[in-house]
């Protein structure tokens, strides 16, 4: 997928990118590849693949959920900035916070935000479990996103405590989403969420399956969640 195909396929989905925004994606690609030589940010470095498997894949969440308001968005475990930085480029009114447990990724993201000239972005070095208990962040975001971080039963415990009441947790999943969803139903309910919608589609050009799961926050998350670092992954709510 080249930049032209990228813009064309997004246009078919109702997402129109300006030449400035397309320039930001190209700068993002160049910066990612340059920094990837110094630190392991991604295994995907070919231009066509980055545009398809990182940029388009990140923006696919917006095919099923409207990110166009001035929302506060927290991205948990974003790594090299996916999905929240592509979403921020496409929807500049988003106010983005990324939390990641690796400081070197935070260093990269701070540099990236400068070269892309992004405003209203902040990057926090923390574990999601401790971040979710911080009163400044707990239940304070309109939207929380996560892409390929952990199984949904674990992810729900890391993300739902950050979502404000009536806000939404948007999970970007690859294969096995249906099975993960079945396993996570109890955890989602306990944590105050309700599955609002599930949308499965194929990534263009290679036909790999993707699923976007939208979970609405109906009631506050019990205070004991998230549990201490490492616990959600070792013993998911079941």
Q: How far apart are CA 149 and CA 11, in angstroms?
A: 28
Residue 174 annotated as lining a ligand binding site: no
CA 126 to chain centre: 16
Residue 23 annotated as lining a ligand binding site: no
Q: How far apart are CA 183 and CA 205, in angstroms?
A: 31
Residue 77 annotated as lining a ligand binding site: yes
Residue 129 annotated as lining a ligand binding site: yes
Q: How far apart are CA 170 and CA 144, in angstroms?
A: 6
3-state secondary structure string across 142-203? EEEEEECCCCHHHHHHHHHHHEEEEEEEEEEECCCHHHHHHHHHHHHHHCCEEEEEEEEEEC
Residue 69 annotated as lining a ligand binding site: no
Q: Give binding residues as ranges.
A: 77, 82, 128-129, 147
Q: Give binding residues for S-adenosyl-L-methionine as ranges.
A: 77, 82, 128-129, 147
């Amino acid at each position: 997928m080249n930049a032209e195909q990228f813009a064309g396929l997004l246009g078919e989905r109702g997402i129109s990118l300006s030449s400035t925004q397309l320039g930001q994606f190209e700068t993002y690609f160049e910066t990612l590849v340059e920094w990837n030589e110094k630190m392991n940010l991604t295994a995907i470095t070919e231009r066509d693949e980055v545009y398809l498997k990182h940029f388009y894949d990140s923006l696919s969440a917006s095919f099923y959920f409207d990110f166009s308001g001035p929302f506060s968005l927290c991205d948990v475990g974003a790594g090299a900035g996916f999905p929240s930085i592509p979403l921020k480029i496409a929807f500049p009114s988003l106010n983005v916070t990324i939390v990641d447990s690796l400081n070197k990724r935070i260093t990269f993201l701070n540099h990236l935000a400068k070269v892309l000239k992004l405003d209203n972005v902040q990057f926090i070095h923390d574990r999601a479990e401790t971040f979710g208990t911080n009163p400044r962040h707990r239940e304070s975001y309109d939207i929380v996103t996560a892409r390929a971080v952990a199984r949904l039963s674990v992810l729900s415990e890391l993300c739902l405590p950050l979502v404000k009441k009536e806000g939404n947790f948007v999970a970007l999943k690859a294969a096995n989403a249906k099975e993960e969803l079945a396993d996570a139903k109890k955890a989602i309910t306990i944590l105050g969420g309700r599955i609002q919608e599930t949308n499965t589609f194929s990534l263009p050009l290679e036909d790999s399956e993707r699923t976007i799961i939208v979970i609405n926050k109906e009631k506050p998350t019990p205070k004991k969640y998230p549990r201490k670092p490492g616990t959600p992954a070792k013993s998911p709510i079941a």
